[in-house]
Structure 1
């Protein structure tokens, strides 16, 4: 397909029989310090409180849907902590960094490779078991936990599980550095949508995800949330004290899927049903654009094309930014220039109640302005790229706080100010 996009990331649970060498070497001599925003977002020194459950931790996000094509977060990891840029991905569980252990094959990243230091996770650790299916789980090398992850765009990472400190500035003023498990990736294959980052931040609901580990250490509740700004940037958070639950639209999280899915939805266009009512939907922050299955996608394209009939827009066949682009009499500068020509979308989820939970997608939630000044459809045909469900990607989550509450097993959303880092719920609601 044309255009820049990120695909759904799928963890492949394969046990590798790899004799891992060099992992017990000394850590890097570099003393890279945390970036300045770590000191400015929150105040307060390190605390020895035993149980700060009820707090949260917030991280700024950088990047955009277009033209960069991805968002990323800085995490400070290690002793002493060093900065790494990671792809925040709700579509996978395992966090991993490119790792000098030594590295067999690493892609170009933003920072020096992570250097492990006597911090292997053993094969017998429950976190290792969580990465593998029971029929494939073997401990030929009990001193280490091997992993392999593969992604739908063809990318992959092979490595071993390690533990190290993650610098966290909690919203209650405390500073913590819990030891969390993540992948030390020493063999990476770049995918078609490869980005110059240091690794992936797994935000899924599995046991190996960072949120699950923080919850088991009773640092905060097993809740993940993000707020992507249409202007670029935004923020990511763990914990549940940054929002007023009564002001969030909630829907049940399906237990039938390993991904964040509310189950089946009805697609609406301009407030009216399109006739497509059994669309299996997944939320994936690892995808820049949204996807519909072939039938729903073709129906949407037909509806949009019909709606543009008689409007001062015509198809821009010379613009290959995305599959469908339209040009006006002069180049457009922002979505506001064309918003009036397009109708809003919505996905209606059944709640077991009389009313549905509506996930509303305004025109700016499915359109971009290309570098040529044309307006392009940011919803793509998932069937063509092998995605067998319907995906809400970054473009359709802009200017919304989206929350994945793994304890209550619900997904929620609400319009929010994503342009500044919040210190409390009053900053965003």
Structure 2
């Protein structure tokens, strides 16, 4: 979510708190082309996999979203795709609700509130042994995000329709949010959040528990504003590089340690642990790694025809002799970055060419899409956001506890 109204819209939906309240580069283009050709205006199930068409961008909107159909009859809601948090929620129409402007009318519950005794209720509470005075008490939730946004509401259960034509409906639990806070009031261009981290409250976990799909998720976000999200292992393209997933209490897709390189040879930072988070627009490094990265980039730019400028979009920007019209116009001025993993004693890289860490703003300036995690209290956590995952297939295999990636054209 954006830093202020004049700045580039961005958000970090990495979940920080859920509390109880009761009252490289292998080509997979052909595989992804076959997936995206199957996209329609609604998600579909193919074999044991579910496919969702994706829209959005890093700049200027700052998020990628998909449409989900909920209720009977089904109604469409746009949800921000977030692999950094578990709970899916939509804005909810209840008396006294604090709602924000959204693309669709808020969801209306219909005597379908989840009880505090429901096993899924414990999954949205830390610690899970929450008090429950009576089985008739509802299951309330509160989730806070790293950018200081939040959602307060109650768990409900309703039908999700994954293929409108076939009327395939599945009864799932999600959040009915009646009090939302956003760090930037202008940000909400969606109806809620599609929480896809590896917690029991996630929609993916619920589908897997019903034996409808494997506990695997993948996405391919295009810089051109399209993409695809899929559940299940039936659509994983060949050539994926895999690295182990680290267990953590927030169910984030965490991996490491990795080294950060500039120009494939210059070591910038060592032994970083990183979370792959589609709910974050930009990439965040811990304070020391951020300072070292910025210092190395600035050193390289001393001989380039670029000058620092205050753009109002991101903290660090440069201008050229004239306005830049595309990211391609500036890539020759910047060296590629790379995250180097050691897998089975062999080095593999998650490539970050300039287009995966820079944006060109409407002012014609180029800005650094790597931010200081200390500004949002991330501590030593490093986040790989949408900007760095664009035009890559990224797969989270929760059953094998592996994270994988491959370069791809996600727009075709």
Q: Structures share a fold, TM > 0.5?
A: yes
Q: TM-score, normalised by structure 2?
A: 0.89
For residues 16 and 330 of structure 2, the distance between their equivalents in structure 1, rounded to whole angstroms, comes to 39
Please name the residue that 2:364 is paired with.
373
For residues 356 and 128 of structure 1, the distance between their equivalents in structure 2, rounded to whole angstroms, comes to 42
For residues 305 and 124 of structure 2, the distance between their equivalents in structure 1, rounded to whole angstroms, comes to 53
Alpha-carbon offset, residue 101 of structure 1: 2.5
Is residue 2:282 matched to residue 1:279? no
Written as runs of structure 1 = structure 2, the 5 A alignment for 1:26-425 is 37-38=40-41, 55-134=48-127, 137-143=130-136, 144-169=138-163, 176-192=168-184, 194-244=187-237, 246-257=238-249, 258-316=251-309, 318-351=310-343, 353-388=344-379, 389-420=381-412
Alpha-carbon offset, residue 13 of structure 1: 2.9
Alpha-carbon offset, residue 132 of structure 1: 1.4
Please name the residue that 1:29 is paired with.
none
User: Comparing 119-128 with 80-89, which one deviates more in the overlay?
Assistant: 119-128
Alpha-carbon offset, residue 255 of structure 1: 1.5
Q: Is the 8 A contact 1:89 1:202 kept in 2?
A: yes
Alpha-carbon offset, residue 396 of structure 1: 0.3
Q: Is the 8 A contact 1:204 1:259 kept in 2?
A: yes
Q: Is the 8 A contact 1:162 1:183 kept in 2?
A: yes
Alpha-carbon offset, residue 273 of structure 1: 4.0
For residues 66 and 419 of structure 1, the distance between their equivalents in structure 2, rounded to whole angstroms, comes to 16
Q: Which runs of 5+ in 1 are unaligned?
A: 19-35, 45-51, 421-429
Please name the residue that 1:12 is paired with.
17
Q: Which structure shows the higher strand fraction?
A: 2
Alpha-carbon offset, residue 110 of structure 1: 1.1
Alpha-carbon offset, residue 197 of structure 1: 1.7
For residues 218 and 164 of structure 1, the distance between their equivalents in structure 2, rounded to whole angstroms, comes to 18
Alpha-carbon offset, residue 185 of structure 1: 1.1
Q: Which runs of 5+ in 2 are unaligned?
A: 24-38
User: Comparing 261-270 with 126-135, which one deviates more in the overlay?
Assistant: 126-135
Q: Is the 8 A contact 2:357 2:368 kept in 1?
A: yes
User: Comparing 189-198 with 118-127, which one deviates more in the overlay?
Assistant: 189-198
For residues 270 and 237 of structure 1, the distance between their equivalents in structure 2, rounded to whole angstroms, comes to 33
For residues 264 and 70 of structure 1, the distance between their equivalents in structure 2, rounded to whole angstroms, comes to 27
Alpha-carbon offset, residue 192 of structure 1: 3.2
Equivalenced residues, count? 388
For residues 116 and 282 of structure 1, the distance between their equivalents in structure 2, rounded to whole angstroms, comes to 34
User: Comparing 342-351 with 399-408, which one deviates more in the overlay?
Assistant: 342-351
Q: TM-score, normalised by structure 1?
A: 0.86
Q: Is the 8 A contact 1:5 1:69 kept in 2?
A: yes
Distance 1:264 1:130, change over 3 A: same
